[in-house]
Amino acid sequence: MSTATIEGCLIPEAASRQGNDPIFALHGEAVRRAAAGESILNSTLGALMNDDGSLAVMPAAAEALGRVPHARGAGYAPISGDPPFLKAVVGDLFGEGALAEQAIAVATPGSTGALHHAILNFLEPGQAALTPSYYWGPYHTISTHAGRSVETFNMFGDEIRLDVQALRAALEGQIDRQGRALVLFNFPCNNPTGYSLDEAEWEAVAEIVRDAGRRGPVAFLLDHAYAKFGDEASNRWIDYLPRMLESATVLVGWTVSKSFALYGARVGALVALHRDASECERMSNALGFSCRATWSNCNHLGLLAATELLTDPDLRQRADAERAAMVRLLDERVAVFNELAGRAGLSYPRYEGGFFVSVFTPDGEVTAASMREAGVYVVPMEGAVRIALCATPAASLPRLVDALAAGIATARAA
């Protein structure tokens, strides 16, 4: 029998890929250690957990799923999504004003699908999207899988505020090199830092995008995943879209995953706005084509349930009240974390709400490894570690902060 190596049929690029996301891999390791009887604090995964460790769910969302007749939910959804769903999503974002009139939408499997369609349709192969230096890792995964890439600009400048000059320089540089740009912004309640822009920062961003759009085609995507967990001030981004729309295309990645605690439903939408109606029609056609070419149809049960949640007045009121209770749960953890972290002298961006916070450290890998030895799991990044307060009970925060301080000290000594 020949001992020669049998070569597979995968292309070389695919043969070297990892099959699991690093965050889910860490989460799996933490779960296995806990199942073996170890005392584990798992602050990795972006899902809101109650203090008893159970998944926080919304009864209104469960009722909406149950209301959908089986024959409807089992049938195919339209390629771009049910028109009532798309109208409801646009209304959820913009109401019935001028912005809604300039918007089209297609259904996607969560905001991940929205990001995929934006990257595929607003960048040429080989080009790069632009995002802050602290960003959700799958932006890179989605981009490279689509034959594109991600470039970053320095996220924080003086006083740990958005470095708007770095954004301007990077965006102008991309226009000069690529002839076009796609900006990915995950605010409010940024993943991974928890940072939300204030009005002065949004005003600066709007001016930069408008100026860049006069130099070449610019699409600005707002990843809306955590926006409903931000306060009123952090959600003033809508006020600055008209300025961007003077010269640029605006995209919004909308999802039920976080807003309605329906992570597994995989329902979302990509909303696109443009000042020209004919361009809106072209975008609608292009995005619908991409739907057919990738997942074909979204989860129809989820689409119909989301429509109920958005359009039935009683169900929506209850969902809003249930989400408000989730926000209060998170806010309690934020307050405790801020107090403990301040007392421990930890350095981190302004954190007022959302699922995550990131704490700066000389070496994220060393800090996270040290914390794992103490049974505390966080996600390492370059120069920081990400903590999922959404999954961390308030009573466990002293243990987490102590492990953080020790892990940062280990990194400094390394």
How many CB atoms are closer than 10 A to CB 393? 17
**Average per-residue pLDDT for the chain:** 95
In 125-258, the DSSP E strands lie at 128-132, 149-153, 181-185, 218-223, 249-255
Which pLDDT tens digit goes with each residue over 147-205? 999 999 999 998 999 999 999 999 999 999 999 999 999 999 999 999 999 999 999 99
The span from the CA of 389 to the CA of 46, in Å, is 9
Rounded to an integer, what distance in angstroms lies between the CA atom of residue 326 and that of residue 84?
27
The Cα–Cα gap between 99 and 275 comes to: 9
pLDDT for res 353: 82
Average the pLDDT over each of 73-87, 153-167, 229-243 and give the range with the smallest value.
229-243
Domain with CATH 3.40.640.10 in the chain: 60-311
**Which tokens hold the place of 148?**
């594109």
Q: Where in the chain is the domain with CATH 3.90.1150.10?
A: 19-48+317-413
Alpha-carbon gap, residue 217 to 147, rounded angstroms: 19
Question: What are the start-end ranges of the E strands in 289-367?
Answer: 356-360
- Tens-place pLDDT, residues 304-322: 999 999 999 999 999 999 9
In CATH, the architecture of 60-311 is 3-Layer(aba) Sandwich (3.40)
HSE-up of 240 (CA within 13 Å, CB side)? 21
State residue 6's pLDDT score. Answer: 63
- CA dihedral (366, 348, 340, 32) in degrees, to 10, reads -40
Beta bridge partners of 162: 156
State the pLDDT at residue 414.
Answer: 84
Report how far apart, in Å, the C-alpha atoms of 198 and of each of 83, 88, 187, 195 are.
Answer: 34, 28, 10, 10
Residue 331 clears pLDDT 60, i.e. is over it: yes
The 3-state DSSP class for residue 284 equals: helix
Q: What percent of the chain has pLDDT over 70?
A: 99
Q: What is the DSSP letter of 234?
A: G
Q: What superfamily in CATH does domain 19-48+317-413 come from? A: Aspartate Aminotransferase, domain 1 (3.90.1150.10)
pLDDT in tens, 205-216: 999 999 999 999
| Dihedral-angle region of residue 65 (phi above 0 means left; psi in -120 to 50 means alpha; beta otherwise) | alpha
Could you tell me the sign of the dihedral formed by the alpha carbons of 44, 50, 53, 59, in that order? negative
**Contact in structure between 31 and 38 (CB atoms under 8 Å):** no
Task: State the number of CA atoms in the 13 A half-sphere of 118 facing the CB.
Answer: 35
Least confident of 98-102, 117-121, 156-160, 384-388: 156-160
pLDDT of residue 1: 46
pLDDT, tens only, 108-142: 999 999 999 999 999 999 999 999 999 999 999 99
pLDDT of residue 22: 86
Return the exposure string of 129-145: e unless at least 16 CB atoms fall within 10 Å of the residue's CB, then b.
bbbbbbbbbebbbbbee
